[in-house]
């Protein structure tokens, strides 16, 4: 099983800004994504469609409000 780590919002933003992580809104609803979208984030639907194409050396950070 994969290990899940919690990080502070500032660390998440820094990782996304420098390009070492992908930011994924964990809501499976387009309206909730629209309401809770943070800059640089992709939707859960987009994440699922791109699964397998993410670089292995990047973190994937899920968030929900």
* Sign of CA pseudo-dihedral 42, 52, 19, 57: positive
Q: Give the DSSP letter string of 1-65.
A: --------HHHHHHHHHHTSEEEEE--SSHHHHHHH--TTEE-HHHHHHHTT-S-TTSEEEEE--
User: Using 50, 70 and 90 to split pLDDT, how confident is the model at 14?
Assistant: very high
Reported confidence tier of residue 3, pLDDT bands at 50, 70, 90? confident
Task: Name the pTM for this structure.
Answer: 0.82
**Res 4: pLDDT:** 81
Is 15 part of a structural domain of the chain?
yes
Task: pLDDT band for 49, please (50, 70, 90 cuts).
Answer: very high
Count of structural domains within the chain: 1
Domain hosting residue 18, numbered range: 9-55
30 domain-assigned: yes
Give Cα 36 to chain centroid, integer Å. Answer: 12
């Amino acid at each position: 099983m994969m290990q899940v780590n919690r990080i502070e919002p500032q660390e998440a933003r820094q990782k996304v800004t420098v390009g070492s992580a992908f930011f994924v809104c964990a809501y499976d609803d387009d309206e909730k994504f629209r309401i809770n979208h943070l800059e640089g984030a992709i939707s859960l639907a987009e994440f699922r469609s791109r699964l397998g194409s993410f670089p292995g050396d990047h973190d994937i950070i899920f968030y929900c409000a």
